[in-house]
Amino acid sequence: MFFRMIRGMLTRQTGKMAMIAFTIALGASLATAMLSVMFDVSDKVNQELKTYGANITVVPKEASVLSNLYEVEGGGDVSNVYLKEDELGKIKTIFWAFNIVDFAPMIDVQASVNGTPVTAVGSWFNHHLDLPTGEQLDAGITSLRSWWELVDGRWLDESQTGDDQRVMLGHTLAEKLGARVGDTVELSADSGASADAGSGANADAGSGANAAAGSNPSSGSFEVVGIFDAGGDEDKQIFAPLDLVQSLSGTDGKLSSIEVSAITTPDNEISRQAAKDPSKLTIAQYETWYCTAYVSSICYQIQEVITDSVASPVRQVAESEGAILDKTQLLMVLITILALLGSALGISNLVTASVMERGQEIGLFKAIGATDRAISGLVLTEIIVVAIVGGLVGFAAGIGFAQIIGQSVFNSSIALKPMVVPLVVVLVIVVTLLGSISAIRTALRLDPVEVLHDR
């Protein structure tokens, strides 16, 4: 009988019920979209922010001391001080390993190309890593410096056969040399010399010997596969695979620096204090700091695994990443709350209007013995049925909205996190119940005498 009454009520006010379902669907769709984007936004924003480069730089301790003394960035001015390449994988074993989304080792050496003194940089471009944790990662400057534009050719790619003996030129250097993609350039380096350490003199320049695997030569001829525009000093440099530059300069297994891109939490008092000296924290503060993805805590953990290193944040980027993430998520939460409040108000008005329209019917139920609980149950069940329909439609639409947002804002799809489903269900229930309060109060206040006698 109860369900016959519900069915009858729903079918009699199809238009109004459709409006209520639409209002719920609207709220549910916005909540689904915003929550989906919110839970996925850290990855997306991070991908966006990666275009601003690494947010942590790791350099040898000695180089860091000198660079701090002379306020020089990077610490690359010190020769014969290197990080160990075989420790690179350890970066992905720290407590916040999952927050490290990309990294690239660097070796800078003073070299000459076709007799012109340049800085040769060896690095990873699209280096595939199988980590001890079972995780796989494609790291390198192709993704880490995604704002670099290819003027001609293509990126170096470690997975392509022969790319270990090819190079890329900054466009300023390419113009100076008159080199094009497909040309062969002669690269020679000071054995064991780091960039800027020497005066630019190069004993082996122009020797013309081809690089041969395993022979550790200091010069060779290499094909240019790409010319890039970095918008900085890199435009005057030559970039080559890490192994190639190490081999030419006799720095096998050595690195000048490591650039790391990590997702971080905005700094607070504890993290700022810890950045100066973690030993001054209390045990509780230390635990909190160590287990929070502050940039200083991630730096500290990198230093723990890379021997004689100093990891320091590139402040501006690190802070803006955390701040932008927080603000974006706050915006999403606010939009969700406002959308749901709007829905609750809409539901409240529509359901109250529906109850008032059926005043005589509800008055009759009361007159023949319906209790307050029975009336509330009737109104609530009806709204819940409508809410289920509206909620399902809204959820499906919300997934669609999330994809539209993902494609238009981040140029990629938004992954639906499982947590969104129960959250939306709970929110729809809460909003529906909130929206029903006024209608139920109206229904309970209806006086059967008045409605049955048309007063």
DSSP state of 231: S
Q: How far is the CB of 454 from another protein (least distance, A)?
A: 8
Considering beta carbons, is residue 269 or 454 the nearer one to another protein? Answer: 454
Considering beta carbons, is residue 2 or 147 the nearer one to another protein? Answer: 2
Considering beta carbons, is residue 263 or 362 the nearer one to another protein? Answer: 362
How far is C-alpha 207 from the chain's CA centre? 47
How many other C-beta atoms can be found within 10 angstroms of the C-beta atom of residue 20? 27
User: Which residues contact another protein (rule: CB under 8 A)?
Assistant: 1-2, 4-5, 8-9, 11-12, 360-361, 363-372, 374, 448-449, 452-454
Considering beta carbons, is residue 7 or 327 the nearer one to another protein? Answer: 7
- What separation in angstroms does the CA of 139 have from each of 30, 40, 201, 260, 383? 35, 21, 33, 10, 52
Q: How far is the CB of 380 from another protein (least distance, A)?
A: 17
For residue 113, give the H/E element and its range: strand 100-113
The CA-based dihedral angle spanning residues 419, 424, 430, 434, taken in that order and rounded to the nearest 10 degrees: 150
Cα–Cα distance, 351 to 117 (Å, whole number):
79
Q: How far is the CB of 441 from another protein (least distance, A)?
A: 14
DSSP state of 279: G
In 251-337, which ranges are E strands? 254-255, 257-262, 309-313
In 114-209, which ranges are E strands? 116-123, 127-130, 136-139, 149-153, 166-170, 184-189
Q: How far is the CB of 363 from another protein (least distance, A)?
A: 8
Cα–Cα distance, 99 to 92 (Å, whole number):
9
Q: Which amino acid is at 153?
A: G
Q: How far is the CB of 355 from another protein (least distance, A)?
A: 15
Position of tokens 């022969």?
162
Considering beta carbons, is residue 374 or 404 the nearer one to another protein? Answer: 374
Cα–Cα distance, 423 to 122 (Å, whole number):
48
Considering beta carbons, is residue 14 or 161 the nearer one to another protein? Answer: 14
Give Cβ neighbours of residue 442 (< 8 Å, ≥ 6 apart): 352, 355, 356
Give Cβ neighbours of residue 14 (< 8 Å, ≥ 6 apart): none
Q: How far is the CB of 14 from another protein (least distance, A)?
A: 11
Considering beta carbons, is residue 212 or 374 the nearer one to another protein? Answer: 374
Q: How far is the CB of 359 from another protein (least distance, A)?
A: 11
For residue 112, give the H/E element and its range: strand 100-113
Considering beta carbons, is residue 132 or 369 the nearer one to another protein? Answer: 369
Considering beta carbons, is residue 371 or 412 the nearer one to another protein? Answer: 371
295-305 and 283-290 helices, crossing angle to 10°: 90
Q: How far is the CB of 451 from another protein (least distance, A)?
A: 9
